[in-house]
Amino acid sequence: MKTSRIILHIDMNCFFASCEIAENPELLKKPVVIAHDDPFQRSIVLTASYVARSYGIKTTMQVREAFQLCKDIIIIEPDMDLYVSYSEKFYQYLLTITKKVEMASIDEAYVDVSDYQGNVVALADKIQNDLLKEYRLPCSIGIAPNKFLAKMASDMKKPLGITILRKRELNQYLWPLSLEEMHGVGKKTAPKLQSLGLKTIGDLANPKNLALMKQKLGNIYATSLHQRANGIDDSEVDYSGKVEVGSISNSHTFDRNIYEERILKDTLKILVNTVANRLQKKNLKAYTIGLQLKYANFRQINRSQSLETPTNDESDIYKITEAILDENFEEGLYDINNRRDSNCIRLIGVFANRIVESKEQPHQQITIFDNLTELEKKEELKKIIDGVKTKFGETTINQGYYEYQNSDQKTE
């Protein structure tokens, strides 16, 4: 009986542009750019076709810069209804292969084919060819024993690539890559790691660097990055299509498009406090912490991080979700005229999955990497809070995450 997992990560190539080309095949060999049609050319490139990319045009580049690189680019106003309809076709097709499909965003999915009895590479080739033939949608596919490695593999050959990434091949294909190329290392985390002299994913995988990483990023986040760099990821493909029963979450929908990082992070702290407090009140901990974002153009993503040791600590949850936010949001990238750019946020949510009763878990093991003073302070604070609750009632006081301190940021 097959026991090892086989996960596919299917990533649609230049999805928005590909949808437009599928509707109008005459655009196939032309430099297509999806962006708001601003007469002053101040809007941002949402997606560029591979022909446009051959001129050096990139996502988030201003349209005026794109015109400087290629005067013949074709600007197409984004049509989210069209993209959502193609995303649904993509999803429904995958369901004909297996019901174990997790849509990670509008243009990417994880598929668990561990139970497939045939040749998995041939299956990936069929999926790729079917999507191209039936819907004119090109994609790249990563094949690996877990979600993280499958995601990394799908990025290695674009467009129309199929890549297998095995754990025994990490030193050959994964570790030489720069740490910025690692899924989960955002634009704000990368400089912190680089300040430690770390340059490659192999450096993150090296046990000798773990202590430094923990000092800079905290125990939970650093350990997670270290494990993923070593090809370890136990997160499941969530094919439920809804919030799991064993899940605690909280979200907030803004009454306007939000493009200010400060507002997002202030809201994130409130959501984190709520989720952590619910876990603590029920004496629960979670092995998976995640962030949900809905953008102004209705694009939605769910990103999560699996942990070796479950947590219900608000500071751990905040550090993980903040890192995900940093990777998926950049302040200032919005349409100056109407602020409908894909980087504006309408909803932010925090969730905790794979929940267990904390009493079933062993006490935290203090290692040589932990800051004993901080651990003692945290434990003493919890004792004080528990004492106040015992004397005056459970709802009197709750510990919350009200500041995020590190060497690069002032205390708020």
Point out the catalytic residue in the list 20, 102, 108, 322: 108
For residue 384, is pLDDT > 70? no
- More confident of the two residues 243 and 207: 207
Helix (H) or strand (E) segment spanning residue 146: none
Looking at the fold, whether 269 and 153 belong to one and the same domain comes out as no
Q: Lowest-pLDDT range, 98-102, 113-117, 331-335, 370-374?
A: 370-374
Shared domain check, 201 and 185: yes
Residue 368 has pLDDT above 90, yes or no: no
Interval 356-382 mean pLDDT: 51
Give yes or no for residue 408 having a pLDDT over 90.
no
Does pLDDT of 160 surpass 90? yes
Pair 314, 364 in one domain:
yes
Examine residue 326 and state whether it is found in any structural domain, yes or no: yes
Question: Do 74 and 204 share a structural domain?
Answer: no
CA distances (Å), 273 to each of 109, 312, 392, in order? Answer: 30, 10, 21
Tokens encoding 14: 């230049």
Q: Report the number of distinct structural domains present in the chain.
A: 3
Within this chain, do residues 292 and 153 fall inside the same structural domain, yes or no? no
* Average pLDDT score over the chain: 83
User: How far lies 85's CA from each of 79, 90, 214, 293, in Å?
Assistant: 10, 9, 43, 20
DSSP E strands, 277-384:
284-295, 300-311, 345-357
Q: Do the domain assignments include residue 411?
A: no
* Cα distance between residue 81 and residue 160, in whole Å: 25
Here the CATH number for the domain that contains residue 289 is: 3.30.1490.100
Exposure of 45 by Cβ count < 10 A (0-12 exposed, 13-18 middle, 19+ buried)? Answer: buried
Identify whether 302 is part of a domain. Answer: yes
The per-residue pLDDT for 391 is: 55
Q: Judge whether 216 lies within some domain.
A: yes
- 38 and 64 co-located in one domain: yes
Given a contact cutoff of 8 angstroms between Cβ atoms, the answer to whether 209 and 198 are in contact is yes
Whether residue 46 is contained in a domain is answered as yes
Tell me, yes or no, whether 217 and 253 share the same domain: no
DSSP class of 255: E
Average pLDDT over residues 14-22: 96
Looking at the structure, do residues 1 and 136 belong to the same domain, yes or no?
Answer: yes
Q: Cα 56 to the chain's mean position, in Å?
A: 25
Q: Residues 201-229: what's their mean pLDDT?
A: 93
* Residue 195 belongs to domain with CATH number: 1.10.150.20
CATH of the domain at 89: 3.30.70.270
Residue 398 lies in a domain: no
Q: How many residues does the chain have?
A: 412
Q: Do 39 and 106 share a domain, yes or no?
A: yes
158 and 29 share a domain? Answer: yes
* Known active-site residue 108: yes
Biggest alpha carbon–alpha carbon distance for the chain? 74
Q: How far apart are the first and last CA of the chain?
A: 55
User: Is residue 379 a part of any domain in this protein?
Assistant: yes
Query: Are 29 and 147 contained in the same domain?
Result: yes
Domain of residue 306 covers 248-392
pLDDT tens readout for residues 191-212: 999 999 999 999 999 999 999 9
147 pLDDT exceeds 90? yes
User: Tokens 């040589």 map to which residue?
Assistant: 368
| Of 412 and 334, the one with more pLDDT | 334
Tell me the pLDDT band of 334, cut-offs 50, 70 and 90: very low
Distance CA 10, CA 141 (A): 5
Which of 110, 137, 165 represents a domain boundary (last residue)? 165
Residues 71, 150: one domain?
yes
Is 236 within a domain?
A: no
